[in-house]
A and B are shown apart, each in its own frame.
Chain A
């Protein structure tokens, strides 16, 4: 919402300066976004007269002008505007001047071999309007040599406020003045529109006809003014409109635009001679269309409210007028419309047709219903004053709905919600100055909101009105009471797990990334997603269309982006949500990481102490286990199973499971086919940990860890080497060794794997080191031999292998 300072002062009697007004506007909730003064930017542009306009020797469309700047010799300007002609008085920019609409600074140029010392400007080039069909064409008597901005009255502050959607009353300058007056910044000049007595009945009637469906128009006022003389608006009116970025058209249209911004009351004018029969306000019908005043044609249907006559549709009610019945300078008889539309229907129609007009902006927020007929009076008065003519009696269809909303208001609400102690009298002054009615006395009164405040619903709204006007700085800072204990644990298990796994992974050299929650459909499908319920209806791009089933596509792509920048050895992780379905339970928390190139735990790339090899399945299994350990998973009880999803290398990937059905993590090198489908390059290894899959920790037990049971006796080590088939897993062998004796065997370590010379084909040699920890007494050789024999027997039985001799 834009307005000029002088426009505001038309409604507000105040001594306050610009700065004070701007400050106060912001502090009462009408936030000033910008104060501009077009004269500042347009200072150098002067009024100049074209003395000669010759055809350019080398270009059909260009002319070479001799321009009188008001001082010195005429200057030569090359100009392509169709209206450039001798005698035209326009606006000249000279070398060194900045042209805001073009964002260039002028210099002496040569256009098709003819020198040009500046330019004659269009309105768009000076950001005065969108007009660009020709250069500015001023009245002949405009003073040549004078600053254009000064002459045109542009030297005035234009204030723009960012209006919140709850304040339709401030879509007009009058409403803004009322708020400022309430805030003590002057006195509101109360509006009063004298009624014009019509001298004849309105020859056009209006009917609301919704054929039993919901009324999209609540009330409609109409009035004819005949024998008007339309034409360009007087300068003051044109100045007001151009100052806020509107283009003056003709008096009748300008009056409607003016009252829209002055009072927040949109109006429409029809050329009565182009209207055939009475007006009917109804739902549109499929097949009907209207050429709007914005130059575009719109198809309507039954969800769109139209104003029609015998010729068809003449207007999209409350949103956009039509060309066929629009007012032009030739208009002699005019019909003025002031109507009340359904807010939701206006919003829906505007969205559907993609039309944003000043009328829609106001109607969808809710105009003052009680001002419908006064607005019509105001417009009638202005038409009569500026165009002459005779007004008919007004007609009205429908009825203006009752708005009175009476609120029982205990003054104590002010203290309860805001903490401010305020006298009843002070609260009353504020509410009354905003137009509220107060009745009753005592601690609770009845308060009625004015018709222009549809946003006021209840007590809290009244508290807001009072507090915003007296100033929020009167609210006392009040410490929130502490809760009688020291700080309690506030994090949930899920939050704790995320925090611990995050720092564990970062401590393993990973950099934490945050990638989009949505990925492309093909990627989602590749990683087990692609569920139609998880596809956005309005994605921002094809690459961000589906909620991710896995963090890996985002991380793999991120690793590639880094590689493309020249940083191929990266370790990235993310902790975030993935989506199995669209229910809250279908959203799971996952920690995932990728290692690319040689980004291993000990470092990446070449080094004097030994180069790092390519990342592999063991790197990421170690990461997964470390993160699981950090969140309290029993890592040594997990099963390592080779059945990772197909996106991983089939022989170099696996799962970590707690029991046969509960997969806590997957890990492995990425399948070459996955890399190809994602159009990325490896080596890449990755893991994903399902943080929610780990069972909740047991409740509050004792924190005691029990006594340390460290034996004072020397442990004994024994090495064994077995020949087993190549496909026997290490885990099978180790498990058999560990299980051979429960009390003595405290640790089994696999320290060598060998295939090749000396070992039969299809077999491998696996060497383990078993630590025996005696508890009561030192072991005898016989006891050691007995345990060794059980280990050998157990392993041979489990693996089908033999002890290597």
Chain B
């Protein structure tokens, strides 16, 4: 018996000190293999007396089971250690800087984003988006909008013209989005609710003017919309667009050939901090012109101004973008400086909605 005990303690010690899976395997072959030490012992059982066998059989089987188990246990430990070692070797510096994903570096121009914001607000009020060509006729840009020929109001528009055609017609670049009012009223039966965003042009260039800029125009034509509705629409728009709970507005009589009565609208602001804050303070800032569509304009579109009525308003998209998002200089809108676009632009997937907040 002491023989077996010695063998067992020797083998267990050897298993415990096996340093890798190969050494362990060699040990396994040397003990449990066909010619292994335990296997050799097992072979002696046949020559033993039944009495001896009755003692040695279980002892040898017990030893074999014990060693098998010890080898398996050691194997697990070694495999674990090997994995640990491999993983330790695979370690990387996870602080290495990544390339930003394209969706992180791309940006939407503020003008596009603001048009999407306007769309979200006015679609909710039942408006659709109308558009028209940049190259317009004198008739649509001026005459149909009740600008008399040679009137000073026409002069004030600094119009870009094309060369006259053989028949004397002279096309121009629209000076405002208002010709689309005419196109819409001539093509579409009332009730009409549209906003009209787009590029507009005036030959004027200085610190605060660019020869091309963006306007958005609104038009409502039906049988009952009056100036009280106009006031409401504009107030709701300003609250939604500037994302403020309330805003004071001031309507001042003014003059536009295509509206009567005509108003200019000032919005409450605070200029004290160097930056204009909308919806607070006690200063005023002019942001838009509006009025009831002039009876002559309604008539020019083939509608009876005693039956149909409505209102229109217009404002600068670039300008309201500047007011909301704090760009100081209009000219930078058209310079395509990537630093500017990165700073003032919007992330590609941030599509403005009313339900999610326009800009949050």
Question: A-side interface residues toward B, CB under 8 Å?
Answer: 26-29, 31, 164-167, 343-344, 347-348, 351, 364-365, 415-420, 457-461, 463-464, 467-468, 472-473, 475-480, 482-483, 487-488, 490-492, 494-495, 499, 502-518, 532-540, 544, 547, 555, 558, 561-562, 565, 567, 570-572, 575-577, 579, 582-584, 586-587, 601-603, 607-609
Contacts and interface: CB of A to CB of B under 8 A. Distances in A.
B99 interface: yes
A582 B138 CA distance: 13
B349 interface: yes
B173 A536 contact: yes
Given A464-B260, A582-B171, A511 B292 contact: no
Contacts of A468: 253, 261
B105 interface: yes
Contacts of A509: 102-103, 105-106
Given A29-B252, A417-B292, A540-B205, 20 more contacts: A31-B264, A343-B150, A417-B226, A460-B305, A461-B260, A463-B261, A480-B220, A490-B129, A492-B129, A507-B102, A513-B336, A518-B212, A538-B160, A544-B211, A547-B135, A558-B336, A570-B338, A582-B162, A582-B171, A583-B133
Contact of B211 (A27, A351, A488, A540): A540
Contact of B162 (A537, A555, A608): A537
Contacts of A587: 133-135
Contacts of B203: 538-540
Interface string B224-249: 01111101110100000000000000
A348 B227 contact: no
B334 A516 contact: yes
B338 A491 contact: no
Given A26-B252, A364-B152, A512-B345, A495 B129 contact: yes
A418 B226 contact: yes
Contacts of A506: 103, 106-108, 347-348
B304 to A, nearest CB: 13
Contact of B103 (A473, A477, A507, A602): A507
Contact of A511 (B106, B173, B333): B106
Interface stretch (B43-51, B118-126, B268-276): B118-126
A477 B294 contact: no
Interface in B331-355: 333-339, 341-342, 345, 347-349, 351
Contact of A483 (B103, B108, B126, B252): B126
Given A31-B264, A517-B134, A480 B156 contact: no
A417 B252 contact: no
Interface in B116-155: 116, 119, 123-129, 131-135, 149-153, 155
A202 B169 CA distance: 49
B314 interface: no
A555 B334 CA distance: 11
Nearest to A602: B99
A164 B199 contact: no
B24 interface: no
B111 interface: yes
Interface string B287-312: 00000101110000000010001000
A503 B351 contact: yes
A472 B252 contact: yes
Contacts of A532: 163
Contacts of A513: 109, 336, 341
A483 B163 CA distance: 45
Contact of B228 (A165, A419, A514, A603): A419
A536 B205 CA distance: 16
Contacts of B235: 477
A464 B102 contact: no
B261 A512 contact: no
Contacts of B108: 502-503, 506, 512
B336 A603 contact: no
A166 B256 CA distance: 9
B205 A584 contact: no
20 contacts: A29-B253, A31-B252, A31-B264, A351-B155, A417-B309, A418-B292, A467-B253, A478-B232, A480-B220, A490-B119, A490-B129, A503-B348, A506-B108, A517-B212, A534-B135, A534-B162, A537-B162, A603-B105, A607-B99, A608-B96
A475 B253 contact: no
Interface residues of B, number: 89
B68 interface: no
A166 B146 CA distance: 12
Contacts of B155: 347, 351
B17 interface: no
Nearest to A544: B211
Contact of A562 (B160, B338, B351): B338
B292 A460 contact: yes
Q: Please classify the interface of chain A as helix (H, G, I), strand (E, B), loop, or mixed, using the class held by over half of its residues.
A: mixed
Interface of B: 96-97, 99-100, 102-103, 105-109, 111-112, 116, 119, 123-129, 131-135, 149-153, 155-156, 160-165, 170-171, 173, 199, 201, 203, 205, 211-212, 220, 225-229, 231-233, 235, 251-255, 260-264, 292, 294-296, 305, 309, 333-339, 341-342, 345, 347-349, 351
A165 B254 CA distance: 10
B127 A490 contact: yes
B104 to A, nearest CB: 8
A165 B107 contact: no
Nearest to A343: B150
B229 A515 contact: no
Top 6 closest A-B pairs, CB basis? A419-B228, A29-B253, A464-B261, A164-B255, A509-B102, A478-B228
A166 B255 contact: yes
A535 B161 CA distance: 9
Nearest to A344: B150
A537 B173 CA distance: 11
B111 A418 contact: no
Contacts of A579: 134-135
Contact of B341 (A459, A482, A512): A512
A418 B228 contact: yes
Given A459-B295, A479-B232, A511 B345 contact: yes
A538 B172 CA distance: 10
Contact of A536 (B162, B333, B336): B162
Contacts of A472: 227, 251-253, 263
Contact of A533 (B162, B173, B295): B162
A170 to B, nearest CB: 11
Given A417-B309, A603-B99, A539 B109 contact: no
Contacts of B124: 487
Nearest to A607: B99
Contact of B229 (A420, A464, A478, A602): A478
A343 B133 CA distance: 32
B336 A561 contact: yes
Nearest to A166: B255
A467 B50 CA distance: 128
A572 B111 contact: no
Nearest to B255: A164
A418 B227 contact: yes
B106 A344 contact: no
B337 A565 contact: yes
Contact of A460 (B111, B116, B133, B261): B261
Contacts of B261: 417-418, 460, 463-464, 467-468
A419 B171 CA distance: 39
A31 B265 CA distance: 12
Contacts of B348: 503-504, 506-507
Nearest to A513: B336
A699 B164 CA distance: 42
Contacts of B127: 490
